[in-house]
Amino acid sequence: MANLTYVTGNYGKYISVKEHFAEKQIDLEFLEYEFMEPEINDIERISKQKALEAYKILGTPCFVADTGFYIEDYPNNPGYPGAFVKRSGVANDIDDLLEVMKNVQNRTCRFLDCLTFYDGREFYTFYGISEGTLSLSRRGNDIRKAKSNLWCVFIPKNCDKTLAEMSDEERKDRNDDHTSATDIFADWYKSEYLSFKKLIKK
């Protein structure tokens, strides 16, 4: 099977993604690497730039995954922090976020995942989205698999628990119409990309 590496500085993300790939019988390697993110609020451009940088380091097909967090009625800055979720410090200072949002009635927010795979020739980009609301307080335990500290304040649509309060099964089976960039990519990689690679080798 072709070499495939996930490049990220977040080990929790790797553990979560590895499980998705294992379910589909896809081997996944891991490179821990901290990217310097460009100062642009465009998650696709950021993702592609990171994928290219990762490929230059590895020289083999690899992918990166970025997540934006968009708060609909963030005071004086709707949609904040968006693709700046890491650089803004929002994810690392949950108490400050809750303080800023304490008098905001509309707490609608969403995660937008952007995964980019680069094989040295083409970029392939996949998206996932999860709609929900911001809780009034920090809820749930710190979990090793958490992709973000924001899990403890994000309540998915049609749910009454934050992601951090849910079990693995509850997160996987939740009824919020969410889509997973990881799952979409894994299915495509196995059913289309690898099949095409085998075909052209014949």
Q: What is the mean pLDDT of the chain?
A: 89
Sorting pLDDT into bands at 50, 70 and 90, what band is 145? low
Provide the CB-side half-sphere exposure for 125 (13 A, CA). 17
CA pair distance 7, 12, nearest whole angstrom: 12
The DSSP bridge partners found for residue 111 are 69, 130
Q: What structural domains and CATH numbers belong to the chain?
A: 5-201 (3.90.950.10)
Condensed to tens digits (0 to 9), the pLDDT of residues 41-54 reads: 999 999 999 999 99
Q: Enter the pTM of the model.
A: 0.85
75-79, 112-116, 121-125, 172-176: least confident range? 172-176
Report helix angle 11-23 to 181-188, nearest 10.
40
SS3 181: helix
Token pair in block for residue 24: 């589909």
Residue type, 133: T
Q: What tens digit of pLDDT does each residue of 75-115 get?
A: 999 999 999 988 888 988 999 999 999 999 999 999 999 99
